[in-house]
Structure 1
Amino acid sequence: MKEVMIIVYQISILTLLGLIGFIAGKTKYLAENAGTVISKVVIKLTAPLLIFITLAGRELDIKKISNIGWVYLLGIIFLLIAFVFGGLISRVMRLEEATSNIYKMHSMFGNVIYLAFPLLSSLYGDDGLFYAVIFGIVNDTLLWTLGIFLVNKHEKSSLKENLKRMINGNTIALSLGLIVLIIKTILGESVNNIPYLSNVSGFIYDTFHMLGSTTFPLSMLFIGLILSETKIEKVSDLLKRAHIFVLSLFRLIILPVLAMFILAVFGKSIDPIARYVIILELAMPCGTIVPALAAEYGSDYRSATENVFITTILGIFTMPLIVYWMQSLIK
């Protein structure tokens, strides 16, 4: 029960931050392009710095390396399972091709940075954020390959062009952070004996940490601004979109519960926090980047926006349930 109260408290804080962004957007207190600007600041600046300091500020051991491998491998497996189920559900519900492709994307790709990073950091500290970064790389690997293929099926785009998108601030920060992490692990305590290195590295770390930590509130403001731009003419029209609620049930409940039982039975050798992170990442609402990609490639961005809107609202209530079940099942 204590863990549930913690997540309710943390989600309440994040929800309030999102509400501030929503009000600022609805009242036009912030400019219409504020969400776009904040998104670019997060993705291109603060999130890369957060990823870098999360990795560079740690040291590896054999058990940690094993857990990283499990998070990456299981992340790939569960996201591909989500893709298959999304395809089956969209076929049963006879969705049009563009809507079906968005449906498959949102079955796979959740809000693994904007919402997951601040939530997992508040729940499990640096360890939670560390594994969340690894899962984020899994998400990006599939997003910029399979995801781009789905959203861009009506156009011809080479695999080379899609892979180029994987070279960005986040992957560069990941690479640099891993290099520092490996060097620190190899050298161990002898790193501290290098003259002035400790002072310089501490100064850089504190600076990057100060800016990187703004990722959390900025992310929630961005989500609020995005939701404020969602135009729902009639609630009754939205309630008729049964496929969105089926998607919500699958993303917010079925997929994480499936992962929960599999990890409880077969994942006992994996760090519990790593397992918690995988489950909660899979329980996140639909990813906010998908509507932006859909708009960019001329796909069904309206359906994508509705998916984000509904799952984000419902996710506020489902995530505490997932944490309660998860803490009861996995020790």
Structure 2
Amino acid sequence: MLFVAKNVLILFAMIFIAYFAGIRKIVTENGIKDFSNFLVRVTMPLTIVHTLIKPYDAKLIANGLKSFAGSFLMLCIMAGVAIFFVRKSKIPMNKQGLWMFVLTFSNNGFLGMPLMMALYGSEGLFYMTLANLAQNILIFTLGLRMINRGFRPVDNMGLKSVLLNNINIAVVIGLFLFFSQIQVPEVITGVLGYIANMNTPLSMVVVGLSLSKYNVKDMFTDRDSYILSAVRQLIYPLIAYFILKVTGYGAGTLVPAILLFTIVLPAPALASVLSEQCDTNPKFAAQCIFITTLASMLAVPLVGGLLV
């Protein structure tokens, strides 16, 4: 647990540094967008490709498929629970969709991938990448319907646009290199290695800068965001831990850790992005992201303790 807590503390220290740089306007809002675009379109994809330039390992593929399947099934169950809970509760209609969305999906991209890289190396990053692929498919199909609950429907982005993003294309390229065992020139692997070393700190910087855009006082005014965080980052992980222990799913591998960390991570930045695009209560989306991100500073090390 000490190892996990130390690494998580380092990661969140970087978030705080970036946060204060943001509120001091050392980095402008345009700069935040540029950092984010560079991370998503360049650094993350190349890091994934670099991760998969390695000797063929059948166990890695088998466990990767377990991570994908386990994540997909887990998200479907969480979505079912969220939909049932929201329908039976007295949550205002203009919040119901975001309740469902935040209770189901996690920040696998900006936080999950670099966290797994820091804790478990390239193997952890590979498994989280496949888990994130499962989440992306569901976010832009089921997730869009959730976000728009109670509002006018918008056109779905379509499965093609979901799958053909830089992250998933990088997975395909990386898997091709992994299965074909093509010898990549040392100069290229060297460049990819340096870029991969940037991925984790840059991800934390983007998270911190993104949080700095919000008015802190406004972020603490909605009680619903606290309840959401408690359910998502306390109750869900304990139930999932019990189920994984009883079923033995992925026992002896990193898969259970990937699934547990996926659950405890904060609400994804996409909650705010999609809410802005669809005009469906973006302020509440921002509050959920802010509160769950703060809560994850305590929840993530605790989950790490369960895995010891």
TM-score normalized by the length of structure 1? 0.86
1:67 corresponds to: 63
1:32 corresponds to: 29
Question: CA separation of 1:148/1:209 partners in 2, compared to 1, >3 Å: closer, same or farther?
Answer: farther
1:10 corresponds to: 7
2:67 is paired with a residue whose SS is helix
Give aligned-pair identity as a percent.
23
Amino acid at match of 1:90: V
Post-superposition offset of 1:205 = 1.5
2:289 corresponds to: 308
Which sections of structure 1, spanning at least 5 residues, go unmatched?
185-190, 192-196
1:188 corresponds to: none
Larger deviation, residues 16-25 vs 245-254: 245-254
Superposed, 1:131-142 pairs within 5 Å as 131-142=127-138
1:194 corresponds to: none
Larger deviation, residues 17-26 vs 84-93: 84-93
Distance in 1, Cα, partners of 2:285 & 2:141: 18
Residue 215, structure 1, aligned to residue 208, structure 2: no
Amino acid at match of 2:171: L
1:187 corresponds to: none
Post-superposition offset of 1:55 = 2.1
Post-superposition offset of 1:149 = 2.7
Deviant stretches of 4+, over 4 Å: 155-160
Residue 115, structure 1, aligned to residue 125, structure 2: no
1:243 corresponds to: 224
Post-superposition offset of 1:155 = 4.5
Question: CA separation of 1:178/1:256 partners in 2, compared to 1, >3 Å: closer, same or farther?
Answer: same
Amino acid at match of 1:214: M
Which sections of structure 2, spanning at least 5 residues, go unmatched?
none
Amino acid at match of 1:37: D
Asked if 1 retains the 8 angstrom alpha-carbon contact of 2:50 and 2:192, the reply is yes
2:301 corresponds to: 320
2:50 corresponds to: 53
Distance in 2, Cα, partners of 1:162 & 1:94: 33
Aligned pair count reads 307
2:125 corresponds to: 129
Structure with larger Rg? 1
Larger deviation, residues 211-220 vs 301-310: 211-220
Asked if 2 retains the 8 angstrom alpha-carbon contact of 1:283 and 1:322, the reply is yes
Asked if 1 retains the 8 angstrom alpha-carbon contact of 2:51 and 2:122, the reply is yes
1:13 is paired with a residue whose SS is helix
Asked if 2 retains the 8 angstrom alpha-carbon contact of 1:283 and 1:319, the reply is yes
2:95 corresponds to: 99
Larger deviation, residues 160-169 vs 210-219: 160-169
CA RMSD between the two structures: 2.1
2:29 is paired with a residue whose SS is coil
Question: CA separation of 1:30/1:80 partners in 2, compared to 1, >3 Å: closer, same or farther?
Answer: same
1:79 corresponds to: 75
Distance in 2, Cα, partners of 1:289 & 1:10: 25
Post-superposition offset of 1:32 = 2.0
TM-score normalized by the length of structure 2? 0.92
Post-superposition offset of 1:129 = 1.3
2:97 is paired with a residue whose SS is helix
Asked if 2 retains the 8 angstrom alpha-carbon contact of 1:148 and 1:162, the reply is no
Post-superposition offset of 1:60 = 2.4
1:204 corresponds to: 188
Superposed, 1:155-234 pairs within 5 Å as 155-159=152-156, 161=158, 163-184=160-181, 197=183, 200=185, 202-233=186-217
- Which of 243, 246, 255 in structure 2 is aligned with 1:274? 255
Distance in 2, Cα, partners of 1:293 & 1:162: 16
Asked if 1 retains the 8 angstrom alpha-carbon contact of 2:137 and 2:162, the reply is no
